[in-house]
Structure 1
Amino acid sequence: MSKTQATTATDSASVLKNFTPYKLKKGEEYMNEAQKEHFKAILRSWRNQLMEEVDRTVHHLQDEAANYPDPADRATQEEEFSLELRTRDRERKLIKKIDSTIEKIAQDDYGYCESCGIEIGIRRLEARPTADKCIDCKTLDEIREKQWGA
């Protein structure tokens, strides 16, 4: 599984807790106000879920912090805390990306591929609300990444 796929799997799992797909109406304009509101709601909900995780982690670290006399127990606890903090760091970066995506919506710059300019598509954005490239451009990026080992 590529890094992007892993991130997407994590992202989608978080976003889809209280998810209702957008119902497209015939002839509806792409990225109209209703669609923008739909994505703002998804992004805000996702951000709130991540912030709740941050709060849980802080409380967990405070509650579970102990000075075990056994070095193996201390090492296990430190490794557990380290993994948890790395996860929270990734989520902190994701929160920044969510905030910048909400700002893109406010500036009417959301839903279009940064590489080629075409519509990213409602379903792709629902699967990955922070997507900034269409599926074709993202696929090409991943192919290039594999070829160059970047």
Structure 2
Amino acid sequence: MKRVVGSYHPHEEEPYMNQRQLDYFESQLKQWRTQLQQEAHDATREMREENVRAAELVEQSLSEYQRRMTLISHDRKSRLLAQINAALLRIKEGSYGYCVETGEEIGLRRLLAYPAAFLLVEVQEAREHRSRSFANGVG
């Protein structure tokens, strides 16, 4: 696969999901994944170090709060990593850039804003609406 060179940026005047665009998004996703993996590694290391240092009650409470926030962040990053890996798989399979529910083009703007997107905005909003309705006991 040919690597993206220089300052290439996908634009809507070119064919949708051509090889340059696919290479661009693959590169973006891999960089994002590497960054998230490094952040997760750093957070895990910091939590281990905090366990050794937390001695007093107030310090322990603060440490526990920070640990919870770190775990929440870690969980969010884990879900994001799964989405990134799924997007990379879709690039390999040839389905990247298309909604997994409708098969329609997701669009460059959405992918540039969120390269791991796998749904049309309308489909994502409908899912979120159903989820909120279910959580509130409606529907």
**TM-score, scaled relative to structure 2:** 0.81
Q: Distance in 2 between matches of 1:88 and 1:145?
A: 23
Q: 1:40 to 1:68 in 2, by over 3 A?
A: closer
Do structure 1's residue 92 and structure 2's residue 78 form an aligned pair?
yes
Which moves more between the two structures, 137-146 or 74-83? 137-146
After superposition, the C-alpha distances for 1:109-143 in whole angstroms (9 at most, x for unaligned) are 11111222210001101111111111122222223
Residue number in structure 1 paired with 2:4: none
Structure 1 equivalent of residue 26 of structure 2:
40
Question: What residue is the counterpart of 1:102 in the other structure?
Answer: 88
Matched residue type, 2:68? S
Give the conservation status (yes or no) of the 8 Å contact 1:112–1:133: yes
Identity of aligned residues (%): 28
Match of 2:42 in 1: 56
Identify the residue that residue 116 of structure 1 maps to in structure 2: 102
1:73-92 alignment, distance < 5 Å: 73-92=59-78
Deviation at 1:68, TM superposition (A): 4.0
User: What amino acid is the match of 1:22?
Assistant: H
**Are the structure 2 counterparts of residues 82 and 37 from structure 1 closer, same or farther at C-alpha, using a change threshold of 3 Å?**
same
Structure 1 residue 58, shift from structure 2 partner: 2.4
Aligned in 2, Cα 1:79/1:31: closer, same or farther, shift over 3 Å? same
One-letter code of the match for 1:41?
S
Q: Is the 8 A contact 1:67 1:74 kept in 2?
A: no
Superposition CA RMSD, Å? 2.1
| 1:144 lines up with 2:122 in the alignment | no
Which residue matches 1:12?
A: none
> Aligned-pair distance for 1:76?
1.7
- Please tell me whether the aligned partners of residues 47 and 67 of structure 2 are also in contact (alpha carbons under 8 angstroms): yes
Deviates more, 1:103-112 or 1:131-140: 131-140
Shift of the 25–79 alpha-carbon distance from structure 1 to 2, 3 Å rule, reads closer
Gaps of 5+ in 2: 1-6
Query: Is the 2:10–2:108 Cα contact (8 Å) retained in structure 1?
Result: no
Q: Does 1:22 align with 2:9?
A: yes
Mapped partners of 2:55, 2:9: distance in 1: 55
Alignment: residue pair count: 130
Using the size of structure 1 for normalisation, the TM-score is 0.75
Q: Deviations over 1:45-100 (max 9, x none)?
A: 10011011012112212333235443232122122112112211221221122112
After TM superposition, the structure 1 stretch with the greater mean CA deviation from structure 2, 56-65 or 120-129, is 56-65
